[in-house]
Amino acid sequence: MHEMSVALSVVDQVEQAARANAAQGVRQVGVDIGELAGVVPDSLAFCFELACAGTVLEGARLVMRSVPGRASCEPCGRTWDTGMPPDLVCAQCRSAATELLSGRELRITEVQWTTEADAPPPTPAGRSEEN
């Protein structure tokens, strides 16, 4: 399952950043996923939850943003959504000399973490917050 390796990579990179920033935990991770990247969002969400277990990311929310595939025709300059499967032939001039502008992304765009200052104060032993 390729999504597990993607999830493990995201967790590893976020853990490194969290350590470097003295984060106590991670609330949310945002990722851009291109529609042509070959990643199944539901599978990635499932794998992300598993990969986070026992790490500083445990309980973190994964927010995925889909990035549409876009192409540009070099001869005539037209741009279009490629769709899936991708249509990489220009409908205007029928050229196949196209450049893929977007849709293959797979990148971390945002991380929200908690620091010691964000943590609630400790409750004295033997007392609950409801008392």
Strand-pair partners of 100: 71
Residue 87 to residue 78: CA distance in whole angstroms: 13
Higher per-residue confidence, 30 vs 128: 30
Rg (CA), the chain: 21
Q: Please say if the pLDDT value at position 74 is more than 80.
A: yes
**Band (92; pLDDT cuts 50, 70, 90):** very high
The mean pLDDT value for 101-129 works out to 72
The DSSP code sequence of 58-113 is TTPEEEEEEE--EEEETTT--EEE-TTTT--S-TTT----EEEEES--EEEEEEEE
Q: What are 40's two structure tokens? A: 């199944």
73 is in an annotated binding site: yes
- Cα gap 29→63, rounded to integer Å: 6
Helix, strand or coil, per DSSP, at residue 118: helix
- Residues 114 and 26: beta-carbon distance below 8 Å: yes
Q: Give yes or no for a contact between 97 and 14, defined as CB atoms under 8 angstroms apart.
A: no
Give percent above pLDDT 90 in the chain. 79
- Cβ atoms 28, 60 nearer than 8 A: yes
Residue 76 annotated as binding site: yes
pLDDT tens per residue, range 12-60: 999 999 999 899 999 999 999 999 999 999 999 999 999 999 999 999 9
Which has the minimum average pLDDT: 57-61, 81-85, 122-126?
Answer: 122-126
Q: How confident is the model at residue 114 (pLDDT cuts 50, 70, 90)?
A: confident
Say what the pLDDT of residue 122 is. 44
The verdict on whether residue 90 carries a ligand-binding annotation is yes
**93 annotated ligand-binding residue:** yes
Report the b/e string of 55-70 with b at 16+ CB within 10 A: bbbeebebebeebebb
47 marked ligand binding residue = no
pTM for the complete prediction?
0.79
Q: In whole numbers, what is the pLDDT of the chain averaged over residues?
A: 89
